[in-house]
Structure 1
Amino acid sequence: MEQSLPTFETAKKLGLLEEEFEKIKSILGRTPNFTELSIFSVMWSEHCSYKNSIVWLKTLPKSSPRMLAEAGEENAGLVDIGNGLACSFKIESHNHPSAIEPYQGAATGVGGINRDIFTMGARPIAQLNSLRFGNLNSDKTKRLLRGVVKGIGDYGNAFGIPTVGGELYFDDCYNVNPLVNAFSAGIVEVGKTASATAHGVGNPVFIIGSATGKDGIHGATFASEDISEASAEKLPSVQVGDPFQEKLLLEATLEVLATGKVIGMQDMGAAGITCSTSEMSAKGESGMDVWLDKVPTRQANMQPFEILLSESQERMLVVMEKGSEDLIYQICDKWDLYCAQIAKVTDTKRLRYYLNGELVADVPADDLVLGGGAPVYHREYREPAYFQETLKFNIDQVAEPTSFEELKQIAEHLVQHPNICSRRWVSQQYDSMVGTATMTTNAPSDAALVKVKGSDKAIAITVDCNSRYVNANPEEGCAIAVAEAARNIVCSGGEPLAITNCLNFGNPYVPEVYWQFVGAIKGMKKACEKFGTPVTGGNVSFYNQSSDEGPVFPTPTIGMLGLLEQKENATTLAFQKAGDLIYLVGPSKNDINSSEYLYSFRNVKLSPTPAFDLDEEYQVQATVKSLIQQNLIKSAHDLADGGLYIALVESAMPNELGFSIHTNGDFRKDAYLFGESQSRVLVSVDPNQKEDFEALLAAQSTSFEHLGTVHAQLCRIDGETFHAITEVKNLFDTALEKIMQ
């Protein structure tokens, strides 16, 4: 064992609290050596242990008849989609690495989330991303955006998985801490999945994939602290990705699984070999003897802690049945990958790490992991002062627009706003058609639709969160995020099944930040229970704040999976022909709370969440499902950022059609056109189906309004022409490009 023993000062530098250092000494019955202390520090970091969040995460709904696995137990969630097939999906953050080195930070985020999917035995078929940056007028934001988008595009395109959608937001609160959340989904036959476990004394343990280098060391610890000026010095904490190597690893992994000889498998993500050996051993109630000198390395003379904590990409840990060693060697040789037996399974429940025959660390597996000996904290929380300020807002404080010219000015502001305008500059850097399964590249809908090959099914996937709403009221704002995700899937013709989440917050030791976290969990819980969409797992990313700028807006990104039993039920958001009738399904409200109009045009930064009622939302979604199933609508598009006007424009642009509508005199024009009250869907209807359409809405007691008709070319409101559709489409399509160029 190493001779010089670390003190609390060393532990503190590794991110451990004094009581945690004392607990480690108690567990071991002695003072840990530096390698052991490093092991505990990464496994007990927030990133790996969820020590500050698990008490609340456990309150989320986790089960449904379709649920096959949850990400807390496995590498990713797994949901039954029928016909002997399952969908594995998950979302994770790569925020801190992307803030320091945007290209590799984003690229390795994509690589890591796809590995989580194929480690389950599923072949990835689609990915999404949720991106947030600071003020787009700053050179720093443009540099970060360029790097992140190129990293996502280069890795995903080379790996061969289509990027089928996502979201992109800008706000000053993300100036220091951008958020880069990556989502992936894959398909697997039920019963052919792998588990992240290790058992069977004497079974061999292999590392396959890339060699281990010094990149990413202490990456989990780096992700569990605030960003500061010193963060740039931690560039080695950012991993380096190789999509071509990952493609080989994907094929080899699925081939190894097909042998039927795999006991368990886990991706090496955060904390590398340390995490995979400890979590698999703890789950299988076993131990391992691990020989670090057998690990293929990129650099000579790597220290034990460097080998253990490296987060080098494109690596897997695989436990095979004894006697099947030749199979995995042959498969990895075929795919030109490193393959080395680095350990064997024991019944000791301990992890014993050796280097050149010397025992360099001896730790109990269960005490390292979530649900075992890892610390669990109940953090203090209190309502921040700004919350009461939001409640003071009244719509009467904002002068109502009086002229057509003023309304047109607001419309042009919103159409060109970076939070609303076309993401063409981004999406053109991604390949959405690789794999030939994407249904929404040329037929846009509210959620991305991807065919499940060999069946009549399609999956619907979406990522959603308006962090401005969550900041205004964490509980209501997060419930809205779940509701909007479900609304997007329903409007696309799907049935919501389950969610994964990426919970991006500031420092959990700040009571006001933790209050936001607790509120968001409560909102997620009530909305998921209402929609019957259990939480399959996900990711908590705390410490998204800096000493100068404070925390980012609380951003609980919701990734939702939906299912179309028949892909023919796919519903576009695009108007289909001139003369079709335009309806608004759901209740209008005199409400401009937290809207983009109020926030960026009127410059009112604090207001409550938009009007939202969960029961009302559920009713509207049930009605839209019925309309689609009975083939009574030609298009469906939910009202979100920018309100009714933006929904009209977005429905009109794909086929270069216009619209002619009348506003409702019971409401302020700005609230009616630009307010973002929830639970509303814009639909178009063939005039021949008008009676059947209205009869169904009446039978379901769902409120609706006939707004007007689809027009050949012009965007007309109350008899006034706002724009020709070609004009507004040009403003919308080129706004982001003009800023970035």
Structure 2
Amino acid sequence: MTLDTVKHAAETPDTDQPWAELGLKQDEYERVREILGRRPTGAELAMYSVMWSEHCSYKSSKVHLRQFGQKVPENDAMLVGIGENAGVVDVGQGFAVTFKVESHNHPSYVEPYQGAATGVGGIVRDIIAMGARPVAVVDPLRFGAADHPDTKRVLPGVVAGIGGYGNCLGLPNIGGEVVFDACYQGNPLVNAGAIGVMRHEDIHLAKASGAGNKVILYGARTGGDGIGGASILASETFDEAKPSKRPAVQVGDPFQEKLLIECTLEAFAEKLVVGIQDLGAAGLSCATSELASNGSGGMRVELDDVPLRDSTLSPEEILMSESQERMCAVVEPDKVERFLAICEKWDVTATVIGEVTDGDRLEIYWHGEKIVDVDPKTVAHEGPVYERPYARPAWQDALQADDANKLARPANGAELREQVLKLVASPNQASKSWITSQYDHFVQGNTVLAQPEDAGMIRIDAASGLGVAIATDGNGRYAKLDPYHGAQLALAESYRNVAATGAKPLAVSDCLNFGSPEDPAVMWQFAEAVRGLADGCLELGTPVTGGNVSLYNQTGEAAIHPTPVVAVLGVIDDVRRRTPVAFADEGHLIYLLGDTKEELGGSAWSQVVHDHLGGLPPKVDLGREKLLAEILISASRDGMIDAAHDLSDGGLVQALVESCLKGGKGARIVVPDGLDPFVLLFSESAGRAVVAVPRSEELRFSDMCGARGLPATRIGVVDGDVLDVQGQFTIPLSDLREAHEAAIPALFG
């Protein structure tokens, strides 16, 4: 078989090529030919196909994502923003924190364990590539109906994959969510996030500069696993008639990644690295083209020098392989020997595969013949840009008109009690400890808060107590009812969760999970959600530092609910002042902060009691969210509150149950005059929190709320071993605990 070289491609313009099988559209293939002035070689076609995939190029979403760069709030904390492997923010005292959330949805449905495990591995490598030591991970998850047989296949594998990989890396899992909904039946969402810490001067970027500098591939050997796995698999809807869209999922080795982490950090410490890029989606195609396009020159690569696990791999397969635990570094010639010595010390395979040139081309050779000769910018950054048609779906008005506030409500205290128990035992509101207990929360000894707290919190400096908190949230039911405000509600909830711990929200990363961009209704949902998130971040002063878009989350015509998952990172000066959710001391006064309105659209109550989705989601008041956050942070810092819990899914009663069970203390609740007990307990009005205030601090706390104009209503006291809503019902904590904790083990244990 003749090697398909650049020369051969120029001489054989009419050769048929498998562009469609590789995921390219005909016009995209024609555009590649136009760029090159000839047909592409097989290796070039492979590179363009993976780099121009939806997953890598954001070709359907980038026209909307530009808003994040256009609506940037003033924020002195931002050090590195959108466009790098992960965003970086200044958290004070010379420390910087990098964080990001990404998706591994489609691979996790095909092979749950490895799909989820390599999702964790990939996001951790993004953190390493910025120059940081990873310190924690989080995992926002969405599955199909909890009682569906396939959920029993997918969930245990995903949870085992996340726990197995993260635990072996020695990284605490401190946050995330688990949500069940039938809309995710064929398309679970496995989003993974990670946090890393470094000093300001240690930030590294993905660029190849300096002619003559060497390109070193190090880490695991390249195999046939995961060829096109994330890049192509995540760029098409699942269709049983297209088995080619279900390629092998990547296989992870967390012990190899642990060595890679330590090896990389030692090389950073010795100032050996000019530029660095991890190998994730699109593998070597991505690493070489992005390093070259972001740098000041070109690059020449000898593909024969890539260490292989499988000697039968073709050059196209080597370029497309998404084998895990690999990095690509650019190193000055006089530092190569030391870099390779560090790799050998950590038992990490490392090979010089090329060098930076003074031209502007990416040239790749195989068996002495040139098989790639491209402008790397056309591969990495100049892919297709689609302005997909979008339109408000015809069914949206009817959905919003189906008002959840008109659903039948409990007629008396006994029925109210029955519905409270039903709510807290439902899969979405029940305890997730069966899942989270499979993760190590406290490895490394710096975890301050972890599930089921409102936000995870990590100490990053033992001397001062400086720490960071992170929360991830996203309510697909709200976003289905109103994608603009649904995205803002996701942002507000994460923001509120971080503030409830006493940390000041700083910045945002997002993972935007939607159906097919070729459906105008889905694109309308996406456009509205991005607009809502950009507007919300501008108002809250929390810039988007980076993130991920996951499209084609649908099977056939059935798309998932639009699910923008929003991660908010915050900083706290001293973690010893953090606020937990637990009611731990009897006699403390329970205050409800914010306004409670009759807002049940998309609520947990409407789902659990009536299996209903309709109406409008709770209204968003971002000014109120900022005020609430300021109160929660000040009260935490000044010792005015001993517990705080945001109000979101399930409303006040869900927060009370969780705070009572976490602290092992009951609560006596008095319904304020003029407020329906049902609305008090089940409304999901935003901008609210419940706090426990020591009696000695009540006057100071209520005066602060009054002076700043935040409604603060005393609704009860921490007391006894029951939840007593006076005049309505009493439920022993033992009954609440049984209902809350038995549901998930009964389904999956």
Give the TM interval when normalised to the shorter protein. Answer: over 0.9
Q: 2:226 aligns with which of 192, 198, 216?
A: 216
How far 1:476 sits from its partner (Å)?
A: 0.3
| Residue among 244, 247, 261 paired with 2:255 | 244
Q: Which residue of 2 aligns with 1:540?
A: 549
2:501 aligned partner: 492
Calculate the TM-score normalised by the size of structure 1: 0.97
Aligned runs of 1:233-632 on 2, under 5 Å?
236-370=247-381, 373-394=382-403, 397-441=406-450, 445-454=453-462, 455-547=464-556, 550-632=558-640
Q: Which whole-Å CA distance do the structure 2 matches of 1:708 and 1:622 have between them?
A: 23
Shift of 1:395: 5.1
Amino acid at match of 1:189: R
Aligned CA-pair RMSD = 1.6
Read off the aligned partner of 2:306 and give its amino acid letter.
Answer: V
Q: 1:173-208: per-residue Cα shift (whole Å, max 9, x none)?
A: 000000000000010011112210001111110000
Aligned to 1:106: 116
2:207 maps to 197
Distance 1:153 1:260 in 2: 33
The alignment partner of 2:545 has SS state of: strand
Q: Aligned pair in 2 of structure 1 residues 433, 18: CA closer, same or farther (>3 Å)? A: same
Q: Counterpart in 2 of 1:733?
A: 741
Contact residue 477 and residue 613 of structure 2 kept, 8 A: no
Q: What secondary structure, in the 3-state scheme, does the structure 1 residue paired with 2:18 have?
A: helix
Task: Measure how far apart 1:236 and its partner are.
Answer: 4.1
SS at match of 1:229: coil
Kindly state the Cα deviation for residue 528 of structure 1 after the two structures are TM-superposed: 0.8
Distance (whole Å) between structure 2 residues aligned to residue 298 and residue 24 of structure 1: 31
Equivalences for 1:647-666 in 2 at 5 Å? 647-666=655-674
Q: Which residue in 2 is equivalent to 1:159? A: 169
Partner of 1:75: 85
After superposition, the C-alpha distances for 1:221-255 in whole angstroms (9 at most, x for unaligned) are 11111112256665543100000000000000011
**Cα separation, 2, equivalents of 1:535 and 1:17:** 31
Task: Sort the Cα spacing of 1:71 and 1:6 in 2 relative to 1 into closer, same or farther, 3 A.
Answer: farther
Cα distance in 2 for partners of 1:320, 1:733 equals: 53
Q: For the residues of structure 2 that align with 1:596 and 1:547, how far apart are their CA atoms?
A: 28
Q: 1:600 Cα deviation (Å)?
A: 2.5
Q: For residues 404 and 154 of structure 2, what CA distance do their matches in structure 1 show?
A: 36
Distance of 2:13 and 2:34 partners within structure 1: 15
Is 1:710 the equivalent of 2:718? yes
User: Which residue does 2:240 correspond to in 1?
Assistant: 229
2:241 & 2:171 partners in 1: Cα distance?
Answer: 35
More deviation, 631-640/181-190 = 631-640
Deviations 1:390-418 (A, max 9, x none): 32133563233211121111101111111
Q: Distance in 2 between matches of 1:232 and 1:13?
A: 11
Q: State the Cα deviation string for residues 533-554 of structure 1 (Å, max 9, x = none).
A: 1001011111101115x11111
Distance 1:261 1:436 in 2: 30
Distance, in Å, in 2 between the alignment partners of 1:13 and 1:236 is: 12
Change over 3 Å in CA distance of 1:213–1:395 after alignment to 2: closer
User: Gaps (5+ residues) in structure 2?
Assistant: none
* Partner residue, 2:103: 93
Deviations 1:78-115 (A, max 9, x none): 11111111001111100010010000000000000011
1:49-60 map, 5 Å: 49-60=57-68
After TM superposition, the score normalised by the length of structure 2 is: 0.96
SS in structure 2 of the partner of residue 348 of structure 1: coil
3-state secondary structure, aligned to 1:374: coil
Tell me the CA shift for residue 165 of structure 1: 1.7
What secondary structure is seen at the aligned counterpart in 2 of 1:536?
strand
The within-5 A match list for 1:114-133 is 114-133=124-143
SS of structure 1 residue aligned to 2:539: helix
Shift of 1:664: 3.4
- Alpha carbons of 1:352 and 1:591: their partners in 2 closer, same or farther (altered >3 Å)? same
**AA matched with 2:107:** P
Contact 2:404 2:615 in 1 (8 A): no
Matched residue of 1:439: which SS? strand
Which residue type is aligned with residue 226 of structure 1? T
What per-residue deviation string (whole Å, max 9, x for no partner) do you get for residues 482-531 of structure 1?
11111001100000010111111111111100000011111111211122
Q: CA deviation at 1:22?
A: 1.5
Equivalent position SS for 1:276: helix
Give the drift of 1:5: 5.8
Structure 2: how far apart are the matches of 1:234 and 1:258? 42
Asked if structure 1 preserves the Cα contact closer than 8 Å seen for 2:490 and 2:566, the reply is yes
Question: Contact 2:591/2:714 (CA < 8 Å) preserved in 1?
Answer: yes
d(CA) in 1 for partners of 2:67, 2:600: 33
| Structure 2 CA distance for partners of 1:337 and 1:55, relative to 1, 3 Å | same
The structural deviation recorded for 1:589 is: 0.4
Deviations 1:703-729 (A, max 9, x none): 121111111111101234431112211
Measure the CA separation in 2 of the matches of 1:406 and 1:612.
30
Sort the Cα spacing of 1:396 and 1:358 in 2 relative to 1 into closer, same or farther, 3 A: closer
**C-alpha contact (below 8 Å) 1:445/1:491 kept by paired residues:** no
Matched-pair contact (CA < 8 Å) for 1:94–1:105: yes
Code of the aligned partner of 1:123: R
- In the alignment, the residues of structure 2 paired with residue 613 and residue 310 of structure 1 have an alpha-carbon distance, to the nearest angstrom, of 47
Instruction: Note the C-alpha offset of 1:603.
Output: 2.1
Structure 2 CA distance for partners of 1:304 and 1:395, relative to 1, 3 Å: closer
> What amino acid maps onto 1:507 in structure 2?
S
SS at match of 2:318: helix
2:157 aligns with 147
Distance change >3 Å, CA 244–CA 395, structure 1 → 2: closer
CA distance in 2, matches of 1:194, 1:643: 43
Structure 1 distance, partners of 2:278, 2:543, is 24
Maintained 8 Å contact 2:238/2:245: no
SS at match of 2:202: coil
| Matched-pair contact (CA < 8 Å) for 2:267–2:273 | yes
Task: For residue 279 of structure 1, report the CA deviation from its aligned partner.
Answer: 0.5
Instruction: Give unmatched runs, 5+ long, in structure 1.
Output: none
% identical aligned pairs? 42
Q: 2:236, 2:245 within 8 Å by CA — same for their partners in 1?
A: no
- Deviations along 1:120-169, whole A, 9 cap, x unmatched? 11111111000000011112101100000000000001111011121000
Letter in 2 for 1:694: S
Instruction: Report deviation, 1:625.
Output: 2.4
In 2, Cα distance between the equivalents of 1:191 and 1:692?
A: 42
Where 1:352 maps in the other structure, the secondary structure is strand
Distance 1:396 1:434 in 2: 46
**Counterparts of 2:332 and 2:341 in 1: how far apart (Å)?**
15
Larger displacement relative to structure 2 (600-609 or 150-159): 600-609
**Which is further off, 60-69 or 596-605?**
60-69
Residue identity opposite 1:672 in structure 2: L
